[in-house]
Amino acid sequence: MLIGCLIALCSVAVSGCDTSPADIEAPEPGVIEATTQGPAGAHPGSCWGRTVSPAVIETVTEQVQVQPAQISSTGEVQAFPIYRTETRQQIVKPRIDNWFETPCAVQMTPQFVETLQRALEARGIYTGQISGSYDAPTRAAMREYQISAGGPDSPILALTTARQLGLIAVDRATLE
């Protein structure tokens, strides 16, 4: 009987560990990988990445008068005012979505990623293997490079960064 209870208990515990892909939440579009669901007014067919600046919240504590002072007709204070301390959270700076244009997935071919890896390697940021795969070491190097170059704090390759690295041609109209 005891062994049967232990087996039943273990099977319940193990079944609670099973998570199917449907149970895992998908990340917000643009945060982990580029998306075509860009900001309002984005050109159709363009791809976007996004960083999220968190809201800044501060705790405000203030004294609120519950009962005013009672003063007699002669001007004497008969009862002092009563206050209570109230604490609340206040948003000082709201959350901001910072959108940036990216190369679309069709442009991110293995040959393009190899060129990106070589460009990052030439700058001393990428030390992994030139694989043509946009893997974790490539994303980490991309994020590090973009931050140092004043770009977005994101592992997603920004179009401006791709142009800085010489990976995508700059349109002549933008130069004039």
Place of tokens 């002669």: 74
Cβ–Cβ under 8 Å, residues 125 and 139? no
User: Mean pLDDT across the chain, nearest whole number?
Assistant: 83
Amino acid 20: pLDDT: 42
Amino acid 14: pLDDT: 40
pLDDT, mean of residues 48-69: 93
Structure tokens at 118: 């070589």
CA distance 50 to 165: 20
Q: What angle do CA 129, 130, 131 make, to 5 degrees?
A: 95
Cβ–Cβ under 8 Å, residues 53 and 70? no
Q: What angle do CA 31, 163, 141 make, to 5 degrees?
A: 50
CA distance 130 to 132: 6
Model confidence pLDDT, tens digit, residues 68-85: 999 999 999 999 999 999
Higher pLDDT, 47 or 32: 47
Assess whether pLDDT exceeds 70 at residue 9: no
Q: Which of 109, 151, 171 is nearest to 134 (CA)?
A: 109
CA distance 45 to 32: 19
Amino acid 45: pLDDT: 87
Non-local CB neighbours of 50 within 8 Å, separated by 6+ positions: 28, 29, 30, 31, 35, 97, 98, 99, 100, 154
6 alpha-carbon distance from chain centroid: 43
18 alpha-carbon distance from chain centroid: 27
Entry pTM:
0.62
5-10 LR contacts (CB < 8 Å, sep 24+): none
DSSP state, 45?
T
Assess whether pLDDT exceeds 80 at residue 3: no
Assess whether pLDDT exceeds 90 at residue 22: no
Amino acid 69: pLDDT: 93
Amino acid 13: pLDDT: 42
Assess whether pLDDT exceeds 60 at residue 104: yes
Amino acid 171: pLDDT: 66
